[in-house]
Structure 1
Amino acid sequence: MASPFASLPGAVVDDSGLQHVGNPLIEQRALSEGRAVVPLGDRAVLAVAGEDRLTWLDSLTSQALASLPPGVSTELLVLDPQGHVEHAASVLDDGETTWLIVDRPDAQGLLTWLLRMRFRLRVAPRDASDEYAVFGGTTAALAALAAAQPGGVPLVWTDPWPAVSTGGWGYAAVDPHPGAARDWAEVLVKRVEEKRIADAAAAGDLAVVGLSAADALRVAAWRPRWSADVDERVLPHELDWLRTAVHLSKGCYRGQETVAKVHNLGHPPRRLVALQLDGSGSVLPEHGAAVRVGEDAVGAVTSVALHFEEGPIALAIVRRSTPVDATLLVDTEDGPVTAAQEVVVPPEAGATANVPRLTRLSRRTPAK
């Protein structure tokens, strides 16, 4: 689907949508301060109608949804029998339909799986992406858009990250959490409204920014995402995703036994770290770039961004045994760069360890 924002001055558009409109760093500041919105062309919308929809989704996924009130935002994971993440979705119910906002590459796979799991229940999953577009930004900025409300409830999903939801558990041992200051919501609008927004942006009446700005703010908040941070063996514990996407005491679902065992008795084999990259060079690592301690490869980069305040930053998954005080090396096409790690998931995570809180550095430490 062609982006209606492709004609904006300075627009850079690819298959995912509008990437930026000329200056991603300025766009990040505008987005974080509520002076702009971002069309999330890399997101898709699934709708699940039917009387049994909430209890059905509750039985299949990691989240407690059976009694989800209309208008309350949460998120879910679909796990395989070994507890690995297969799908992820932001969740909002309007009293008639449950709306799932998903990364576009995951949409068809998740929908196909849901259709296979219907059996005789009164549920009707469908892809609603042709009917609705998704925009992101601060709650105040999105108030200027006409949210769709087919069931009478405005379809505005407010990101629960990084607060620990009921039944969840937070591993990150920092205070304050870097995501605490991130005001983020996503709104569903009808496709005709998307065209109106594009026309307003072209006329200079509404500020629109690109996906790279939204992703940089996400990386700085240590917020995991299916399309970037999930591989075929990732456990939710490794990304600190028990905070918002897993209810530890809701009952059985596929993968629940592994989730409980790792959390209560063991430790996840890998852990998420945030990286402050040496900014003296101009090349950022690619997704999947090796992370090393000396010559020993200990993990890989999952997300990377150039942040308007913090400079070059990344998220990476490393072995649990990687020393927390080790200076890491990250491979780039111009050679390795040094990276200072901030512990997101500590090695002690799991076994319901009581990890002491740490004060987070508020500024980048200069490269040596």
Structure 2
Amino acid sequence: MRSPLLSLPGAVAAEGADEGVAAHYGDLFREQRRLASGSGFVDLSHRGVVTVTGEDRLTWLHLLLTQHVSELPPQQAVEALVLSPHGHVEHALYLVDDGTTTWAHVEPGTQGALVAYLESMVFFHRVKVADATAEYAVAHLPAGSTASAEGAAAVRETPWGRDLFVPRADLAGLARGWGEPAGIWAYEALRIEARRPRLGFETDHRTIPHEVDWLRTAVHLQKGCYRGQETVARVHNLGRPPRRLVVLHLDGTEEVLPPHGAEVRLAADGPEGRPVGFVTSSARHHELGPVALALVKRNTPVDAVLLAGTVPAGQEVVVPQ
């Protein structure tokens, strides 16, 4: 779904998972600094939007998600996951309830599978699940922004800023009141700095929440049963996730960023050594320089210099051994 904001001056279209919105508008670092200072906005209209209505919506979602939502107050933003029976992450939802409707935005292209799963679990509950992506778009205002959220159907207020659910037909008009645009590359650089995982980037088919620090933000350890809870409890009690998320501070003399999936090795073993992990996301940060997130084996020495592809990198722990 191509965003109308790609017609703004300087817009360069993103590719891959973020196709449909702008990668940047001509000045990556200026766009990052703008967001970091609390001004401007990011077009996230390529993300999927799912709504759940009906009087049982919160108690029903509580049975399915990793987060405690049965008594979720209106306007309180939460993150939640859907796990497989073996505890692997299948979906990541960014939720808010407005008192009558639960709104969630999800990774582009995943909303169909999520809606299909949710609908299969309705049974006798009084709920209605809908893919609202064609009707609503997501935009992000950074923390500290004074721009108005007027016109939004729902707002998620988080430490990182506000996620607005706006009528897709009104996106271009509302954007005129949000200030200068910043592309998804700037948004991603700040996400990496904040160590926030992203489904399909920091995850693969066997990721469990502990590995990417989602235990802290998207899993409630005292709630009742949900699919995959046994794995969550077992690994939490043992304290030994098989892999762990790290920040990589990349050698700034290299011109090319290691792409998603690039193998990570111990620098001491050289480029032919056995891989200990892989790069999940990488970006050029306006202050930190080239940075990346990576998943590495739990027992990888925390003080080891690594090779991300062929790029030397210092390691900063996110998830402890």
Q: Give the AA of the match of 1:22.
A: G
Out of 18, 24, 40, the position equivalent to 1:20 is 24
Out of 230, 249, 262, the position equivalent to 1:276 is 249
Question: 1:275·1:314 contact (CA, 8 Å) conserved in 2?
Answer: yes
Where does residue 298 of structure 1 map in the other structure?
A: 276
Where does residue 197 of structure 2 map in the other structure?
A: 224
Q: 1 CA distance for matches of 2:6 and 2:152?
A: 23
Question: 1:329·1:337 contact (CA, 8 Å) conserved in 2?
Answer: yes
- SS of the equivalent of 1:193 reads helix
After superposition, the C-alpha distances for 1:188-228 in whole angstroms (9 at most, x for unaligned) are 11223312035x38xxx831111111111000100011131
Question: 1:136·1:142 contact (CA, 8 Å) conserved in 2?
Answer: no
Question: 2:54·2:128 contact (CA, 8 Å) conserved in 1?
Answer: yes
Matches within 5 A, 1:354-365: none
- SS of the equivalent of 1:146 reads coil
Q: Matched residues, percent identical?
A: 51
What RMSD over aligned residues (CA atoms) do the two structures have, in Å? 1.5
Where does residue 11 of structure 1 map in the other structure?
A: 11
After superposition, the C-alpha distances for 1:83-140 in whole angstroms (9 at most, x for unaligned) are 1101010110011111111111221111111111111211110011122111112244
TM-score normalized with structure 1 length: 0.82
Where does residue 179 of structure 2 map in the other structure?
A: 206
Question: 1:91·1:157 contact (CA, 8 Å) conserved in 2?
Answer: yes
Where does residue 193 of structure 1 map in the other structure?
A: 170
Where does residue 292 of structure 2 map in the other structure?
A: 314
Q: 1 CA distance for matches of 2:33 and 2:41?
A: 11
Question: 1:197·1:206 contact (CA, 8 Å) conserved in 2?
Answer: no
Matches within 5 A, 1:120-135: 120-135=124-139
Out of 322, 327, 350, the position equivalent to 2:305 is 327
Question: 1:53·1:123 contact (CA, 8 Å) conserved in 2?
Answer: yes
Where does residue 250 of structure 1 map in the other structure?
A: 223
Where does residue 107 of structure 1 map in the other structure?
A: 111
Q: Give the AA of the match of 2:305.
A: T
Where does residue 70 of structure 1 map in the other structure?
A: 74
Post-superposition offset of 1:148: 2.3
Question: 1:11·1:20 contact (CA, 8 Å) conserved in 2?
Answer: yes
Post-superposition offset of 1:234: 0.5
Q: 1 CA distance for matches of 2:151 and 2:194?
A: 26
Q: Give the AA of the match of 2:283.
A: A
Q: Give the AA of the match of 2:53.
A: A
Question: 1:18·1:41 contact (CA, 8 Å) conserved in 2?
Answer: no
1:159 aligns with 2:172: no
Where does residue 175 of structure 1 map in the other structure?
A: none
In structure 1, runs of 5+ residues without a counterpart are 150-154, 161-182, 348-368
Matches within 5 A, 1:35-114: 35-114=39-118
Q: 2 CA distance for matches of 1:190 and 1:225?
A: 25
Moved over 6 A (4+): none
Q: Give the AA of the match of 2:137.
A: A
Q: 1 CA distance for matches of 2:101 and 2:146?
A: 22
Question: 1:75·1:88 contact (CA, 8 Å) conserved in 2?
Answer: yes
Question: 1:142·1:187 contact (CA, 8 Å) conserved in 2?
Answer: no
Q: 1 CA distance for matches of 2:144 and 2:151?
A: 13
Post-superposition offset of 1:142: 6.3
After superposition, the C-alpha distances for 1:323-360 in whole angstroms (9 at most, x for unaligned) are 011100111xxxx110000011111xxxxxxxxxxxxx
- SS of the equivalent of 1:110 reads helix
Where does residue 337 of structure 1 map in the other structure?
A: 311
Q: 1 CA distance for matches of 2:95 and 2:7?
A: 32
TM-score normalized with structure 2 length: 0.93
Post-superposition offset of 1:70: 0.7
Q: 1 CA distance for matches of 2:170 and 2:112?
A: 24
Q: Give the AA of the match of 1:337.
A: V
Tell me the matched-pair count: 312
Q: 2 CA distance for matches of 1:265 and 1:6?
A: 48
